[in-house]
A and B are shown apart, each in its own frame.
Chain A
Amino acid sequence: MGRIVLDKVVKRFGDVEVIPPLDLTIEEGEFTVFVGPSGCGKSTLLRLIAGLEDVSDGAIQIDGQDATALPPAQRRLAMVFQSYALYPHMSVRKNIAFPLKMAGLPKEEQDRRVAAAAAALNLNDYLDRRPGQLSGGQRQRVAIGRAIVREPSAFLFDEPLSNLDAALRVGMRLEISELHKRLNTTMVYVTHDQVEAMTMADKIVVLHAGVIEQVGSPLELYHEPRNLFVAGFIGSPKMNFMTGTEATSRGAHTIGVRPEHITASFDSGAWKGRVGVSEHLGSDTFLHVLDTGLAESITVRVDGEFSARHGDTVWLTPIEDKIHRFDEKGDRK
């Protein structure tokens, strides 16, 4: 249950083709994350799967059945929206029970399932409140509760954590991951935050201008980005890119090296530069090294004990076998 296949799906808004023909298979029980910068078409893609937008061309299959023309209500999918989209005039209990009521379940069954969902999501004390009386995190839980009671074949999440503060976001991230482990249901999750994508996904789909740049596990994308876009998008801080002799001497047009794959020293190394801004995180420090002649700034991750001050001269050495090579078109060599 919950296998979703997109077959040459196209979406046009008027004359603008936001998603050119796209093929993608989301396997049963998989946690798939669509990630990309804003405007890349990831939300549109999710809404096409949900049925909230009509596909202009191509087909969508859910569990082997053609769902291209099915209305959202008949696709057996549940969705959690960015704004939570709770029904403001209903209590939490009625919000969670709404999909069950629409499905025509008997009252006792509705109550039983609402109670189970509320217990699983720590909402027992809030069942009689209105959404307006809840905090952001609680609203998010109600939205998830409303999605799980129906036991859908897949969950769709549209940037569900972007309205929460940083601490709450980390907590909810774990809760959603745990929910996935427990239910083992297909989840499709849209985010622009690559950290969310890396930490939660079984499979990441990197989108850029409506086109899939790469599909793979988080570590595949990290270790073997297929092109410059994926290399730059996955990983935090961003990968450093260099062109020129450093690249050509390694047989590439552009080389990329991640901040964690460069060592810094005050005495000797391959590249000489001057320390600009240092960002201290405690365990690690990110140095932004200027005037290397290779790139405007090279970001390096060093140990938190490494005490470099603004203006100091440092020597950088890349770990040779961790260097990524790209050709003129930006594809991996």
Chain B
Amino acid sequence: MARSVTNRRKTINTMLAWAVGLLIFFPILWTILTSFKTEGEAIADPPVFLFFNWTLENYSIVQERSDYMRYLTNSIFIAGGSTLLGIIIAVPAAWSMAFVPSKRTKDILMWMLSTKMLPAVGVLYPIYLLFIQLGLLDSRMGLVVVLMLINLPIIIWMLYTYFKEIPGEILEAARMDGATLREEIIYILTPMAIPGIASTILLNVILAWNEAFWTLNLTAAKAAPLTAFIASYSSPEGLFYAKLSAASTMAIAPILILGWFSQKQLVRGLTFGAVK
């Protein structure tokens, strides 16, 4: 028997859901609002919500003071590059784990995941020294490699669960139908895994975009992405909340828009395999 939901309960549930949603979204909303205030209004007590003098001044100052486009290009290069490289390495890895598993496959997966439990600070020093030696400090290529390595366990895990969902019999059928391994991959496996690969890419672009620890520590000026751009506004001579907010808004806008348009894929990606 289906559970009956009364209208009253439905209304309460809807309101609760909205309340939780707003609570989570509030800091972002507040940042966006603050970015349109003057510095004075930004620190006003009591705070002003919607009724203030809307201004674009912060945006023009931020744009004047620092080259937004350069940070943006770096962010795109680093997030895109590390994800692409990660996928190229993770696809064959996830492949072999899903379709020709060995006795140790589960252990390897757990071990990979365990590397995510290590505090990043723990390896900062060796990696920093390594980067100096290799001349990778403040280079986009260096960050691409580091962020790829940081996110690789997640990429492999996600792809592995997607590939696991593809029935082995279908691949065997392709083999019986005369497909070589290459053809099997091109014509059968990849098209079937595309939704999974797409959401993996999406999630990792977001993770790499938001990554602040390594990007702040391993860059100075040349390769600095948007995370460094925001950080540069929390200056020692005092916080400029409105300008900081404007910088933050500009930094998160691209990824927010990307996320908005692909939310269907994202939700599917994060819940894939949970329900049939």
A77, B176: Cβ atoms under 8 Å? yes
Residues in A with CB closer than 8 Å to B183 are 102
A89, B173: Cβ atoms under 8 Å? no
A73, B178: Cβ atoms under 8 Å? yes
Q: Mark B197-215, 1 if CB is under 8 A from A, else 0.
A: 0000000000000000000
From A51, A82, A89, A99, give the contact of B177 (CB < 8 A).
A99
Interface-side segment among B10-18, B61-69, B87-95, B164-172: B164-172
B178, A85: Cβ atoms under 8 Å? no
Main secondary structure of the interface of A (DSSP, over half): loop
The answer, yes or no, to whether B192 is at the interface (CB within 8 Å) is yes
CB distance from A113 to the nearest CB of B (A): 14
A83, B167: Cβ atoms under 8 Å? yes
Interface residues of A in 147-182 (CB under 8 A from B): 150
Residue picked from B169, B178, B183, B192, most chain A C-beta under 10 Å? B178
B173, A81: Cβ atoms under 8 Å? yes
Q: Mark B150-177, 1 if CB is under 8 A from A, else 0.
A: 0000000000000000010110111111
CB distance from A13 to the nearest CB of B (A): 13
B177, A98: Cβ atoms under 8 Å? yes
B173, A150: Cβ atoms under 8 Å? no
Cα distance A102–B186 in the bound complex, in angstroms: 12
CB distance from B100 to the nearest CB of A (A): 13
- Number of B residues near A (Cβ < 8 Å) is 17
Residues in B with CB closer than 8 Å to A73 are 175-180
CB distance from A52 to the nearest CB of B (A): 5
Residues in B with CB closer than 8 Å to A50 are 176
B169, A83: Cβ atoms under 8 Å? yes
The answer, yes or no, to whether B188 is at the interface (CB within 8 Å) is yes
- The chain B residue sitting closest to A50, CB to CB, is B176
Q: Mark B87-123, 1 if CB is under 8 A from A, else 0.
A: 0000000000000000000000000000000000000
Residue picked from B170, B172, B175, B177, most chain A C-beta under 10 Å? B177
A102, B169: Cβ atoms under 8 Å? no
From B167, B180, B191, give the contact of A85 (CB < 8 A).
B167
The answer, yes or no, to whether A146 is at the interface (CB within 8 Å) is yes
Residues in A with CB closer than 8 Å to B169 are 81-83, 85
CB distance from B26 to the nearest CB of A (A): 42
From B167, B174, B175, B191, give the contact of A89 (CB < 8 A).
B191
Residues in B with CB closer than 8 Å to A55 are none
From A78, A82, A88, A103, give the contact of B176 (CB < 8 A).
A78
7 A-B pairs with the lowest CB-CB distances in the bound complex, closest first: A102-B178, A85-B173, A99-B177, A85-B169, A73-B178, A79-B176, A72-B175
Query: Footprint of B on A, CB under 8 Å?
Result: 50-52, 71-73, 77-79, 81-83, 85-89, 98-99, 102-103, 146, 150
* Sample of 5 further A-B pairs with CB below 8 A, known A77-B176, A78-B176: A50-B176, A51-B175, A85-B172, A98-B187, A103-B178
